[in-house]
Amino acid sequence: MILHMNTISSLGLAGMIVVAAAVVYALTFLAALLAILGRRVDALRVPFVGRPGGRRDSRFWYRVADFVMARPWPIVIPVVLLLLALGLPLQRIRLGAGDATTLPASRESRRGEDLLQHEFPGAGTNPVVMVLRYREGSPLTARRISALYDLSRWIQTLPGVKRLDSIVDLAPGISREQYVQVAAVPPAFRPPGLDVAFKQMAGEHVVIVAVHTHLPAASDEARALVRRIRSEHPPIDAELMLTGPTAFDLDFIDVVHAATPAAIGFVVVATYVALFLLLRSVLLPLKAIVMNLLSITASYGALVWIFQEGHFASWLGFTPAPIETPIPLIMFCLIYGLSMDYEVLLLARTSEEWLRTGDNARAVAESLAHTGRLITGAAAIMAGVFFGFGVANSVTMIKAMGIGMGIAVIVDATIVRALLVPATMRLLGTWNWWAPGGLAPRPRTEG
C-alpha cells in the first residue's frame, strides 16, 4: 500500500482482506465447528500414519533441539555463512520489465519476435519516445525549430540510435534553414505528405520525436541512452519527457527503489511491535526479524542464480532475463509473512514453556518437539504448491515466484527453524526474555 502503485497496492489490499477474512473465519465459524465436532474431529484418521504429535515424532525433534543446543556456535557460524553464501548472487541482480522472452516459445508473439530477431538481427523495435511540451506559443517558430534540429542531430550521434522520426527528420539532406522554412508554411498550403507528418508529430504546444534503437529495452545500453538524453540534452525551450519501454522500465525501478525502504521499514517495525506485545521480550522480536531476512536473502540469491543467470534454464524451460521488477517486493511480503507465521508458532510455545519451567534450554527443546512436525508439514504443503506453480507454469514471472518462494519456505523451515533458531536462543540464554522495567515475563517457578 505504501508504494502507491495500482498493481502492487491492489495486491496489498487483497492480501489484507484475505488475512482479515481468515482471522474472522478462524475465530467464529471454525471455532464453532470444532466445538460441535469435539473429539470426533479425529475420527477419520489416515491409515499408516502415526498420531499427530506422537511420542516418536516429539522425541525426534527433541533430539534435534538437544543436538543443536549442545553445540550452538558450531551450528550458528556455518549456517549463517551458508545462508549468506546462498544470498551472494543477489549482488548481481538486474531488474527489468518483461518482454516476449517471458512467454512460452509456442505463443504467437514469442514466435514472431524470435523469427524477427533471427531473420533481421537488430530489427526489433524499441522506440524511445520524446515528448516536448512548450508552455506558451507554437513549437513551429524559427527559434524552436532550430533548437529541435540541434537536439535531433545530437541524439543521432549517441550509441545505439538507428534513426529518428520527427518534424526535423523528414528526409536526409535537408538543412536547418530549410526545416525552418518548411515549418513556416501555413497548414493549408502544405503538400499532403508533409501535412500528415506535421499532424502526427506536432500539436499546438507539443512535438513528438521517436528515437528508434536496435537495443533491447531492458539492456544496460538502452538504459544508458535514456539516462544520457535526460541529463545531457542540449538546452531547449520546452519540458522534455521520455516515454517508451526503456523509460518506463527505468522509472518503475526508481519508484520501487524509492518506496521499498519505507515499505520494508513499516513491515519490520510493525512486526517488532506485535511480537514485543506478544512475547514481552526485547531481543526475541529482533532475532525473529533477522532470521526472516536471512531466509529471504537466500531465496533472492537463488532467484538470481537460476532465472537471471540461467542455471537449470533448459530443465525448467525458460529464457534467462533480468528479474521482473515487482517480483522481489512481492516475494518479500509473502515470504516474510509465511516465515513470521512459523516463527510465531515456535516462539509462542517457547514462551509458554519458559513461563511454566523457567528453563530456557528446556523451553526451546519442548517447543521444537511440539511444533516441529506442524511447521515442517505446513512448509511441505506450501513448498509443494509453490514448486507446482514453478514447474508447471510456462510464464517466467510466475515460474520465478513459485520456485523462489518454494526455496525460501524449505530453507526457512529446515535450516533456520530447526537449526539456527534453537542455537541462537541457546546462546542468548535468559537474555531472550529480557525487557525493561516490569515488562519481562516471569516464570511461575519464581512466583
pLDDT of residue 47: 61
Position 346 pLDDT exceeds 60: yes
Domains present along the chain, CATH in parentheses: 51-105+259-446 (1.20.1640.10), 128-243 (no CATH)
Position 53 pLDDT exceeds 60: no
- pLDDT band, residue 51 (cuts 50/70/90): low
Position 404 pLDDT exceeds 70: yes
- pLDDT band, residue 447 (cuts 50/70/90): very low
> 43-52, 240-249, 290-299 — which is least confidently predicted?
43-52
Cα separation, 356 vs 244, in Å, equals 63
| 95-151: pLDDT as tens digits | 987 777 777 677 777 788 778 777 776 555 678 999 999 999 999 999 999 999 999
- pLDDT band, residue 33 (cuts 50/70/90): very high
- Please give the model's pTM, rounded to 2 decimal places: 0.84
Mean pLDDT, the chain, rounded, equals 89
